[in-house]
Chains A and B, each alone.
Chain A
Amino acid sequence: MIIVNTETIPGKKIIEVKGLVQGNTVRAKHVGKDIAASFKNLVGGELKGYTELLVESRREAVSRMLAQAEELQANAVVNVRFATSSITSGAAELYAYGTAVVAVDDPTQEG
């Protein structure tokens, strides 16, 4: 599966558009990490727990989006976007969405 956040795929030609696919997730860390984060607010610096949380959420959202794309029998997702919302504090809410397409090798673009 090719995932890009541009409208075209270099070296490939899009022959069929399957439609919008999306995945979302709301994830939280255990309370210990939240307490550690509130202490970190005193001294500043990186919140490692929350960076990890962002990475996990993003992977989860993307994998859900890919599952949808596979169901549609697409082989690529183009124009992928991430969006965030704020439902509750201490949790990361991420949406990933894109367009599932079928792409084939394009000999005219391949140098």
Chain B
Amino acid sequence: MDVPHTSEPGVGSLLVLLLYIAFPAILLFGAWLIHWLGGRSRRRHLEQQEAHFAPLIRLNNLKSYPSTTCRNPQLVTGSAAIANNYFVSFLAGFRHIFGGEMKGYTQMCDEARRLALVRLLQEAEAAGANAVYNVRLETATILSAQNKKQTGGVELVAYGTAVQEVPAVE
């Protein structure tokens, strides 16, 4: 039997090439581009926010208050869920073979923590506080509860007690 479609050798192998090499390569390049551009703007936003809050509100994780007067205690929270990037997890796959620091994941965790803290600070500012005591970070697992091997991302809840601190009078 003469089948006209399969008789051409180029079509099948071209399809395979497209499926297994070209498509992942395009995806990888796209992911890298988005990671580079998106990461830059996210870090700039975080730096701006942190610089804004640094002179206004102090964070600490002390469980008790020093002798200075504190008013209006209030629970403040902030949360962030950050997904990883196809490019980053691709590189991390190589790290599993050779060992060493997974820089992409380190950066992702760092971003999530800072974003959660910035949101906590925003809530504290709205409450008119100038200090947040006993700041704690809790990680959640929304994405990767069933499949532990696959790192879906980081989900963080930051919480603490916001107070208005009045400096001690001599």
What is the interface of chain A, defined by CB distance below 8 A to chain B?
2-11, 37, 40-48, 50-51, 53-55, 58, 62, 80-84, 86-94, 109-111
Bits for B136-164, please: 1 = Cβ < 8 Å to A, else 0: 10111111111100001101010111010
Chain A residues, CB < 8 A from B71? 10-11
Range class of the B interface residue count: 35 or more
Q: When chains A and B are docked, how far (Å) is the Cα of A92 from the Cα of B144?
A: 11
Q: Which residues of A contact B85 (CB under 8 A)?
A: 41-45
Contacts of A111 on B, CB cut-off 8 Å? 68-69, 166, 168-169
27 A–B pairs (Cβ distance < 8 Å), ordered by A: A2-B73, A4-B161, A5-B134, A8-B65, A9-B73, A11-B73, A41-B83, A41-B84, A44-B31, A44-B82, A44-B84, A46-B82, A46-B115, A50-B143, A50-B153, A54-B142, A54-B157, A58-B77, A82-B157, A84-B139, A84-B140, A87-B145, A89-B145, A89-B147, A90-B142, A91-B145, A92-B140
Q: A3-B74, A89-B144 are in contact. Are A47 and B82 (CB under 8 A)?
A: yes
